[in-house]
Amino acid sequence: MMQLSFAGKEMATQKQWRMGAGMMLNSPDFCPLGPNLAVFGHMDMGGSIGFADPESKLAFAYVTESFHTPNKHDKSLCGKRQQNLIKGLYKSIL
C-alpha cells in the first residue's frame, strides 16, 4: 500500500497527488496528511479521513456528518476543520 504507483496532477483540481495500491499517499499540495511523506490512508470529500503514519507510529481517523464543500471561505479540498485536527494531532506528539 505504501509503494508509489502513481504521481501526477489530479484532473479536476489540477493539484499534485500520489497514490499507492488503493491508498492515497501523503500529497501536501492535494490534501496534507501531516509532515511525513510516508503517511498513507484516504480522505473523503465530506471531511472524513483515516491514515497511518509509520514514522510517527500513529494512526488517525475522523468521521463527520457535516459535508465539506469548498467555498469562498474555505477553498481547500479537505477542509480547514480536518486540517486543523491533523495539525493539532502532530503538535501534541512533537
Give the per-residue pLDDT at 34. Answer: 93
Quick one: pLDDT at residue 12? 82
Residue of 9, 17, 77, 76 whose CA lies nearest to 45: 77
* pLDDT tens track for 52-89: 999 999 999 998 877 666 677 777 777 788 888 999 99
Residue 90 has pLDDT above 80, yes or no: yes
Residue 23: alpha-carbon gap to chain centroid = 11
Q: How many helices (H) and strands (E) does the chain have?
A: 1, 6
Phi, psi at 36, each rounded to 5°: -100, 130
pTM here is 0.83
